[in-house]
Amino acid sequence: GQNIDQPTEMTATEGAIVQINCTYQTSGFNGLFWYQQHAGEAPTFLSYNVLDGLEEKGRFSSFLSRSKGYSYLLLKELQMKDSASYLCAVRDGGDYKLSFGAGTTVTVRA
Amino acid sequence: DGGITQSPKYLFRKEGQNVTLSCEQNLNHDAMYWYRQDPGQGLRLIYYSQIVNDFQKGDIAEGYSVSREKKESFPLTVTSAQKNPTAFYLCASSQTGVLDGYTFGSGTRLTVV
């Protein structure tokens, strides 16, 4: 089975940095994904890590440590449009399906 | 443009009625998935299919049924046996053997009254 934990809510100020942590315990591992989801909409892909280390994509970065079962998503230079839910998802080792955490709701304040 | 289409966006049904949610993709993806999302909860896997004419139960399959007669289509039926069907339903697809994530449809919000 899969157990994926992330904080429920976070609040930050426009222009600041926020780090969303995700810990996982899974029966298999073939990559970790981060998705952004605005209320009432479908999730959109942000980042993917399969090897240890940091992946940077513009204002968003994601880090993975497989030995610790840990990842974080770093959002820099926060903008109001970044207010959304951020979902951590782990891909199963065998059949490519994703298991999702409950999501972290980030609120950006002016 | 290629994509994945769910319809309808909003659906209302009376308790005790079966209802079918549509999901169609033109991405030539092998695998398709159905997830359910409830407020404050993550996406929970209902059913998935990696190839035509084959599908597997996910974590919460009870009260649901699917078919995969065509590569492009993966409809989900919410039966009267599903105790609490009101939720946001998301369909997704992916290419097996490729280290990519999912492409999601825009979702169907089902309300049972």
Flag if A102 and B42 touch (Cβ within 8 Å): yes
Q: How far is A44 from chain B (nearest CA, A)?
A: 8
Exposed (0-12), middle (13-18) or buried (19+): which is A68, by Cβ within 10 Å?
exposed
| Single-letter code of the amino acid located at A80 | M
Q: What is the pLDDT of residue A28?
A: 82
For residue B8, cis peptide bond before it (omega within 30 degrees of 0): yes
Calpha distance B64→B26 (Å, rounded): 24
Q: How far is A88 from chain B (nearest CA, A)?
A: 9
Flag if B102 and A103 touch (Cβ within 8 Å): no
Flag if B50 and A40 touch (Cβ within 8 Å): no
- Split at pLDDT 50, 70, 90, the class of A1 is low
Instruction: Encode pLDDT of A32-54 as tens digits.
Output: 999 999 988 999 999 999 999 99
Instruction: Encode pLDDT of B38-84 as tens digits.
Output: 987 889 999 999 999 999 999 999 999 999 999 999 999 999 888 89
Residue A34 and residue A47 in contact, taking contact as beta carbons nearer than 8 Å: yes
What does the angle CA B29 – CA B41 – CA A51 come to, to the nearest 5 degrees? Answer: 55
Of B93, B91, B87, which Cα lies nearest the Cα of B106?
A: B91
- Residue in A57, A86, A96, A98 to test binding to B, most B beta-carbons within 10 Å: A96
Of A50, A9, A49, A26, which Cα lies nearest the Cα of A100?
A: A26
Flag if B105 and A89 touch (Cβ within 8 Å): no
> Which helix (H) or strand (E) is B43 found in, with range?
strand B43-51
